[in-house]
Amino acid sequence: MKTIKNFKILAIMAFAISALQISIVSCSDDPGAENYYTSTSEYASDFLRNRDKFSKFVQVVEKSNKMHLLSTWGQYTVFAPTNEAFDLYLAGRGWTMDSLLSHQADCDTITLTHIIENAAYFTTDFSDGTYNQTNMLNRVLTISSDSDTLSVPGEVRLAMYINKSARIIQADDSVDNGVVHTMDKVIGAQNFMLPDVIGQDSTATLYYEALVKTGMADSLQRFEDFTYSVGSDSVDWTNDALVMSTASEYDNVAYPKNRLYKYTAFVVQDAVLKEKHGIEDLNGLRELAASIYDEVYPEDAKYYDDLKDRRNSLNRFISYHLLNRIGTYYTLTCVDGANSTLAINWDRRNWDIADWYETMMPHSLMKFSFPQGSAAGLYINRRGVQTRRDSRGVFIPGVKVYSPSQVKIDQSAVNGVYHYINDIVHYGRETQNVVLDERLRFDASTLSPDFMNSGARGHYTRSSYENGKYGLWDNNATHNNRQTCLGFKAGFVENFKYDNATHLHVRPRVLSFWSYQGDEVTIKGIFDFTVKLPPVPAGTYELRLFTCTGFASRGIIQAYIKKGDGGYEPCGIPFDMRPSGSDPKIGWRGDSDLGDDDAIAAFDKAFHNRGWMRGPHSYGNATTEAGGVRGTSFANLDRTLRKVITTFETDGQTDIYFRVQQKMQSINNEMNFDFIELCPSSVYNNEFYPEDRW
């Protein structure tokens, strides 16, 4: 347990720093002995049984027949209510403990609500946000901070809550198979779908009325795909479903037990609509929507009275505020916490961390960015760098998303979450022609809602509680391999099409490998897959594939592109991913080889003309979690390359498909699918503003 103890010492320091950063600790910044971290030589089951204050929770867990899970090796996060917490819960229902234990379903619900499986989350991982992985009831748990002025008279202390109601009164007791947090209340199990939760919000009545009358509330009702069956390949990583990877490394792959549908809504409160737009009723909102979308889609103005038609302006307005995936404050970009370690891999002086997603408005795109500095926070449709103009002289402030600690109610539902935003968002002229008129970089882990709804995007290795949040790589060819990967069955990945000859899995985030945002999608076998590209505004675009080359286990691929119902058109000759960039056939060179800025710019232009680009300067791989440095930028690594696939034109309303076939007849060769770029001609072919290196 020496490693865990050392990590706990670092965690105490991080906890104190986090408390200072959110300015809710008094001049006595000691969180109190009762909140110190402890290290034990117990499993979670032993920890609970050995402490009388958890005796009622133990009875409930044993009644649900789940205590055996907490008695085995693995990773669990347990939110353990005290006996006093159960007394409050029982009093509220008018029950005794015997009454509760006679209700099997209630015991099962309580147990599953209070345990996260396959992850050990300390409060230092998320000081304000949402846990990346759902609990065993498949519900999102939010963690938020607030000031505590009652525990110690005269002092203001840090208080942390789960789902806005249950307070953590003792945090981060590490056990051999995870972590236990002591709770002052039983966490309520949310049983409402997302539209119903929004409907209970008295501050957003107009938004909810529009959600219902457009029929979009009906589109947010799904929760689980009951046609999905994974069989024995469940996500417990106790099997030997190992997939051999590069450099004698092994990926331990298992599959989600369930396929879940989840959604995210961005809600504009009544007060904001009135203050910023003078709107107080549905008619006013309809007129606002028409003023935006009739300009962009004048041919659809005739649908003004049919609110449920997808071409109706109010329908477009509401559906643009919706995503068909779970998107929490710290998962919509890869800034994964208030003190995000992964963010050290970026040069954030010159690049705001960003991701782009398709919305539920047909053929529309939304940008999320998380700048640092005085403007730090999550924004929608913002363009610039921090608080200044970008390299092409553009700054659009965007719309800010409220952080969890700015909101006093629980905004989670069975099948998603919603967020307050400080103004409307839209897919109007400015969004399409200015905000999105930039290089669009899509991480492969964002290309399907299933990657995010399953928790695959941004998940950590099994040993994360021993080795920091991001864990370590492992070459171990047994089921104890720490390199946990989530696999996806053919036919159950939205936006992707492939058959059983193709194996696809998402690797966990690590800091040190040559993967943008720390993770990647790995595709193996004699594969043939098609991905629907994210929708982009009308124009001419260059499609680029970023990948890590230079491994003998890489494949030779042939790419194709298809527009709508047309046929697949080949994109050049096959691409051999095995040579590194310094191979003479590619001819990569680094900054230090080239010299001054003029020489670098000349090389990059010539390299692009030959169908290649170096990796981005904005990202590099750090070697350790606590290193605090970027390492070498991807532009200066000869294995991290962008391959120009093709150029294409789009009307902004037709689906575009990207198909990739493996040309090597070997099941052991793979494709490292890291990110794609859709770059408009106004960027890559602009004589006044050359494309930036970031």
Q: What is the pLDDT of residues 136-163, one digit of tens each?
A: 988 888 888 776 555 555 554 678 899 8
Number of neighbouring beta carbons within 10 Å of residue 305: 8
Backbone φ and ψ of 130, nearest 5°: -130, 140
Give the strand pairing for 556-563 and 656-662: antiparallel
Q: Which domains does the chain have, with CATH numbers?
A: 2-183 (2.30.180.10), 491-684 (2.60.120.260)
Q: Residue 445 pLDDT more than 70?
A: yes
* 613 CA to centre of own chain: 27
Instruction: Report how far residue 62's alpha carbon sits from residue 82's, in angstroms, rounded to the nearest whole number.
Output: 16
Confidence of residue 344 (pLDDT cuts 50, 70, 90): confident
Say how far apart CA 600 and CA 598 lie, in whole Å.
Answer: 5
User: Quick one: pLDDT at residue 1?
Assistant: 32
Q: Does residue 24 register a pLDDT over 50?
A: no
What whole-number distance in Å separates Cα of residue 516 and Cα of residue 539? 27
For range 85-89, the mean pLDDT: 94
Radius of gyration of the chain (CA): 25
230 close to 489: Cβ distance less than 8 angstroms: yes
Instruction: Write out pLDDT tens, residues 505-562.
Output: 999 888 878 899 999 999 998 999 999 999 999 999 999 999 999 999 899 999 999 9
Express the helix, strand and coil content of the chain in percent, nearest 5 each: 25, 25, 50
At 464 the pLDDT is 56
Count Cα atoms within 13 angstroms, Cβ side, for 501. Answer: 9
How many CA atoms, within 13 angstroms, populate the side-chain half-sphere of residue 41?
A: 2
Helices 270-277 and 205-213 meet at what angle, rounded to 10? 100
Position 119 scores a pLDDT of 80
CA distance 461 to 8: 18
Query: Mean pLDDT throughout 460-475?
Result: 63
Is residue 219 very low, low, confident or very high in pLDDT (cuts 50, 70, 90)? very high
pLDDT in tens, 306-328: 999 999 999 999 999 999 999 99
In this prediction, residue 23 carries a pLDDT of 32
Give this prediction's pTM: 0.86
Which is higher by pLDDT, 30 or 560?
Answer: 560
- Kindly report the average pLDDT of the chain as a whole number: 87
Lowest model confidence (mean pLDDT) among 2-6, 252-256, 291-295, 498-502: 2-6
Residue 482 pLDDT more than 80? no
What is the pLDDT, as a whole number, of residue 22? 32
DSSP-assigned letters across all residues of 231-297: TT--TTS-S--EEE-GGG-EEEEE--S--B--EEEEE--HHHHHHHH---SHHHHHHHHHHHHHHH-
Q: In angstroms, rounded to a whole number, what is the distance separating the alpha carbons of residues 664 and 686?
A: 38
Mean pLDDT of 348-373: 96
